[in-house]
A and B are shown apart, each in its own frame.
Chain A
Amino acid sequence: MQNVSSNSAPPLAIAAKSLTKSYAGVRALRSGSLELLPGEVHALIGENGAGKSTLTKIITGAIQPDSGELEIFGQRITENDPNRSRSLGVAAIYQQPAIFPHLTVAENICMPLEREKSSITVDWRSRKQRAKELIQSIGANIDPDRLAGTLSMAEQQVVEIAKAIGAKARILLMDEPTALLSERETEKLFALVKRLRSEGVAIIYISHRLEEILTLADRITVLRDGETIACCNACDVDRAKLIELMVGRSIESVFPKRSVVPGEVAIEVKGLNNPEVGLHDISFSVRKGEIFGLAGLVGSGRTELARTLFGITPVHTTITLHGHEITIGSPAQAIANGLGYLPEDRRQHGVILDMSIASNITLASLNEVAKRGLLDSTLEQSVAEGYRTSLRIKAPATDTVAGALSGGNQQKVALARWLAIKPGIMILDEPTQGVDVGSKSEIHELIVEFAERGMAVILISSELPEVLGMSDRIGIFHNGTIVATLNREEATQQKVMSLAFGHEVEA
């Protein structure tokens, strides 16, 4: 911590010291600290997975820390929960507002404010009046009788802020509040934030947009790998410094990357647009045996590109596969053309937990294990057994249900499924997310093996060392397009991060 608060300063709104939190053995927060003053906008920044949301969840009482100290307005908090933190004046506004779409604006605003009232009846007239006053007090204009479900995102956020003001929030937590707002709406929001600050509200502001932070925030706390790295005055730093603070770490793990002489072009994309999911002007190509990394912030378009290529959110643009121009309209078509896709959210889109390992593995290639349309279970078991051995899946047998496996082994089952279709091109979306260290390096080893066997691999990862360590070339996403492609030699963490945050890099 670089910041020292003097004794004469006003009492801290929040004093968090060395908070830790682990999920299933994975340390989400190693040492989270934060000093929040009343009447300041305090930005919280860090890469994806640096621990920002874990830290804020501890403050709102949504989760309990494993260890560490938390004080809110000088009061030591041991057993926190959402009700307790709310009673201390903490209010949170998330990217996706927590509203009741079927209820009116007035009710959305006033319902939480009436929780402490003992009355069992509802006074609609005073509700409407109060909602109107609160909305006006923040300089907005929304009819309190409208149904909340008909409001725009920006209007919903205004409702959330009005709620927080009504609850006399003294600590306001804003998580990426501008992510879905237009420029004009953003300006309005900033004016509102500044006004709240002048009224003494302490604001924690989480954002990936560094420009926003530098203009809005008074102080900035940087998190990296679950640790608070620095707390600095916004006027003392610039973007470059912040990026350095966010990424400045050594590559801890050693990556097993071996160079493969790349073959012919396996996939080529030219000027791909998909306005439905926010993609535009995407061009790149990947050769056989090459690992093409995709870096960028969450929501910058990497997963959207993968889903577009795989035909989940199809477009009519043609892409060139092994020299043939085709369009991919559905996942079935993608599979038929030798594309494999390991999706990001393993539990939601990947492994089917109730099914056996063998059934999971053969799911995308049932024709290979069927005879005249009937499933040959002996063949299925033997195919699965082959992958169990070659991918070193740690399970008693191939008829074990996938849900019984560890995260790392589930991921290997998901990988096996796509290998079973013998793809020429494999898209891996966050293949090591939430996987333990041991399985992680095994999965890295497997990815290298795929490339050696001539597969073209597209690797999406939010973990910079992983992209840098595994890829031959790296495409960097920002705002729905690939803004730059770097070779393995020229890519550094700073460069990739700057590009991901939308800054030009001097060559």
Chain B
Amino acid sequence: MKAYARELAVAATILLVLALLATTTHGFFTVDNLSDLFLANVPVLIVSLGMTLIILTGQIDISVGSVFAVCSIVTGVAARAGLPVLVAMLIASVVGALLGSFNGALVAWMRMPSIVVTLASMVAIRDGLRWQTQGAWVGDLPGSFQRFGLSQTIYTVLMLVIAALLVVVFIVGLRYFRGGRNIFATGSNEAAARILGIDTNRVLFSVFAITGLLTGFSAALNAVRFNQIPSNSGIGLELKTIAAVAVGGATITGGSGTIAGTVLGVVLLGIIGPALTFLGVSAYWERAIQGLIILAAVSVNVLSHYRRRQVSHA
């Protein structure tokens, strides 16, 4: 059971918070509240899956928030131009994949540090978009745009199915496919991976491209929730996703981490804010408490890593 200690600890914390909410407050466990909470966190969940891959290779991507904003606008503009919503979503996903590929190519083949590459992308894309849209929202969308013309309930169920499918695909892909194992190998010991003949450059490129694709796709899924699309969406998405991966137990230097952990990390960080509101704690505390959770999670990582080093040196 030791192998899943982190997942169990996070799950226990989630249960604790939920138990607290169930016994001391009213209104948290309503269908409306829960589905709102879920829909608001779908993009975080989907992008976190990609972020897990990136962090497993020992890299990082802080441009996902900006990519998300661009892809949201792209979805709206394409739909307003008369394209079917599904085609608009496809275009947004491709744009996301291209932006991710750009980051990935610089990291993989130019060997540029990912934190610098994606910091540059983050700023350039966000400000490029601000200049292009002049801050204006995209409105005048066709009637079939919002929720694909589906009812609120069906749309929510559809999102649940998509999220669950993606999680399963990533769990299976990382565990049972060689491509997934190559990601672990690259992050654990890149030199040894190269000796094995693994094309580690391609691995690095792929994780960024996949994350870009997921960011574009989730932006499109999110855009259709409303009949207007803001030009400044996705702010802070990089922090939320990286935090979720870290809370889920992944080592920030690469090589170890699980999708299950990430999913639990998304859930914990997703419920903690509303939980505080329901518990009557000032909203100003929300980020501070999130920060403390991340700090606690990472400290546990460092400590267990330190202990393992001592064992292997003995």
Complex Cα–Cα for A82 and B314 (A): 32
A–B pairs, 7, beta carbons within 8 Å? A102-B187, A103-B185, A111-B181, A112-B196, A120-B178, A124-B176, A149-B312
Compute how far the CA of A111 lies from the CA of B185 in the bound complex, rounded to whole angstroms.
9
Q: Is A122 a contact of B176 with CB atoms below 8 Å?
A: yes
Verify B312–A152 contact, CB threshold 8 A.
Answer: yes
| Residue numbers in A under 8 Å from B312 (CB-CB) | 101, 149-152
How many Å lie between the Cα of A121 and that of B182 in the bound state? 11
The answer to the question of A107 belonging to the interface, with a C-beta cut-off of 8 Å to chain B, is yes
- Cα–Cα, bound, A100→B254 (Å): 11
- The prevalent SS among residues of B at the interface is helix
Inter-chain contact A100/B175, CB cutoff 8 Å: no
Nearest A residue (CB) for B256: A102
Q: Which residue of A83, A101, A111, A119 is within 8 Å of B255 (Cβ)?
A: A101
- Is A99 in contact with chain B by the CB < 8 A criterion? yes
CB distance A122 to B181 under 8 Å?
yes
Chain A residues with Cβ below 8 Å from B137 are none
Contact call B175/A122, Cβ cutoff below 8 A: yes
For the complex, give the distance between the alpha carbons of A147 and B188 in Å.
12
- Kindly report which residue of chain A lies nearest to residue B192, judged by CB atoms: A98
Instruction: List 3 tightest A-B contacts by C-beta distance, closest first.
Output: A102-B255, A100-B188, A98-B192
Whole-angstrom distance between the alpha carbons of A115 and B178 in the complex? 9
Question: Once bound together, how far apart are the Cα atoms of A132 and B137, in whole Å?
Answer: 61
Question: Among residues 247 to 263 in chain B, which have CB atoms less than 8 Å away from a CB atom of chain A?
Answer: 251, 255-256
How many residues of chain B have a CB within 8 Å of chain A? Answer: 25
A: which residues have CB within 8 A of B? Answer: 82-83, 98-103, 107, 111-112, 114-115, 119-122, 124, 147, 149-152
Instruction: State A103–B185 Cα separation when bound (angstroms).
Output: 8
Name the interface residues of B41-72: CB closer than 8 Å to any CB of A: none
In the complex the two chains form, is B184's CB within 8 Å of A114's CB?
Answer: no
Instruction: Please determine whether A99 and B189 come into contact, CB atoms closer than 8 angstroms.
Output: yes
Check: B191 CB closer than 8 A to any chain A CB: yes
Please name the residue on chain B nearest to A92 by beta carbon: B195
Which A residue sits closest to B56, measured CB to CB? A102
Of A100, A150, A152, the contact of B189 (CB 8 Å cutoff) = A100
**Most interface-central of B177, B179, B256, B312 (chain A CB within 10 A):** B312
How distant is the Cα of A82 from the Cα of B192 in the complex, in angstroms? 12
| Cβ-defined contact, A102 with B184, below 8 A | yes
Contact B195 A98 (CB under 8 A): yes
Q: Is B82 an interface residue (CB 8 A)?
A: no
In the complex, A71 Cα to B231 Cα: how many Å? Answer: 65
Expressed in whole angstroms, the minimum distance between the Cβ of A64 and any Cβ of chain B is 16
* Closest partner residue, chain A, to B182 (CB atom): A111
A107 to B314 alpha-carbon distance, docked (Å): 23
Interface string of B153-193 (1 = CB under 8 A from A): 00000000000000000000001111111001101110111
Point out which of B177, B179, B180, B197 has the most chain A C-beta atoms below 10 A from its C-beta: B197
Once A and B bind, how many residue pairs between them come within 8 Å at the CB atom? Answer: 63
**B175 neighbours in A (Cβ, 8 Å):** 122, 124
Nearest residue, chain B, Cβ from A86: B197
- Indicate which residue in A101, A102, A115, A121 contacts B197 across the interface (CB closer than 8 Å): A115
Contact A121 B177 (CB under 8 A): yes
Contact of B192 among A100, A114, A115, A149 (CB under 8 A): A100
Beta-carbon contact of B195 and A103 below 8 Å: no
Give the Cβ gap from A163 to chain B, nearest Cβ, in Å.
10
Q: Chain A residues near B184 (CB, 8 Å)?
A: 100, 102-103
B176 touches A149 (CB 8 A): no
Which residues of chain A are within 8 angstroms of B187 by Cβ–Cβ distance? 102
- In angstroms, Cα B179 to Cα A101, docked, is 18
A114 and B178 contacting across the interface, CB-CB below 8 Å: yes
Q: Do B256 and A107 touch (CB < 8 A)? A: no
Find chain B residues with CB under 8 A from A115 CB.
196-197
Determine whether the beta carbon of A111 is less than 8 Å from that of B196: yes
User: Which residue of the partner chain, among B176, B196, B251, B255, contacts A121 with CB atoms under 8 Å?
Assistant: B176
- Asked whether A120 and B197 contact (CB < 8 A) given A98-B191, A99-B192, A102-B188, the answer is no
Q: Is B308 an interface residue (CB 8 A)?
A: yes
Q: Is B1 an interface residue (CB 8 A)?
A: no
CA–CA, A365 and B256, complex, Å: 45
- Which chain B positions have C-beta within 8 A of A149? 308, 312
Min Cβ gap B228→A in Å is 43
Chain B residue nearest to A145 (CB atoms) is B3
CA distance A468 to B189 in the complex (A): 42
| Chain B 237-273 near chain A by CB (<8 Å), digits 1 or 0 | 0000000000000010001100000000000000000
The answer to whether B311 has its CB under 8 Å from any CB of chain A is yes
The interface centre, meaning the residue of B178, B191, B196, B311 with most chain A CB atoms within 10 A of its CB, is B196
| Distance (whole angstroms) from the CB of B38 to the closest CB of chain A | 32
Nearest-neighbour CB distance to chain A for B174, whole angstroms, equals 10
Q: Is the CB of B311 within 8 A of A100?
A: no
The answer to whether B178 and A100 touch across the interface, beta carbons within 8 angstroms, is no
Q: Do A107 and B181 form a contact, CB below 8 Å, given A83-B197, A151-B312?
A: yes
Assuming A102-B251, A111-B185, is B195 touching A121 (CB within 8 A)? no
With a 10 A CB-CB cut-off, give which of B176, B191, B195 has the most chain A CB atoms.
B195
Nearest B residue to A82 by beta-carbon distance? B195
Q: How far is the CA of A99 from the CA of B185 in the complex (A)?
A: 9
Nearest B residue to A115 by beta-carbon distance?
B197
Is A101 within 8 A of B188, CB to CB?
Answer: yes
Question: When the two chains form their complex, are residues A103 and B188 in contact, meaning their CB atoms are under 8 A apart?
Answer: yes
Give Cα A149 to B196, complex, Å: 18
Closest B residue to A112 by CB, please name it. Answer: B196
Contact with A along B66-101 (1 / 0, CB 8 A): 000000000000000000000000000000000000
Asked whether A152 lies within 8 Å of B195 as measured between CB atoms, the reply is: no
Q: Apart from A111-B185, A112-B196, A152-B312, list 4 A-B contacts with CB within 8 A.
A: A98-B192, A102-B188, A121-B176, A150-B312
Q: Are B314 and A152 in contact (CB under 8 A)?
A: yes
The docked-state distance in angstroms from the alpha carbon of A401 to that of B193 is 35
Whether the Cβ atoms of B311 and A120 lie closer than 8 Å is: no
Across-interface contacts of B197 in A (CB, < 8 A): 82-83, 115
**Residues of chain B with a CB closer than 8 A to A82's CB:** 195, 197
CB contacts (< 8 Å) of A152 on chain B: these are: 312, 314
CA distance A98 to B197 in the complex (A): 13
A7 CB to closest chain B CB (Å) equals: 37
Docked Cα-Cα span, A150 to B312, in Å, equals 5
Verify A150–B178 contact, CB threshold 8 A: no
- Chain B residues with Cβ below 8 Å from A102 are 184, 187-188, 251, 255-256
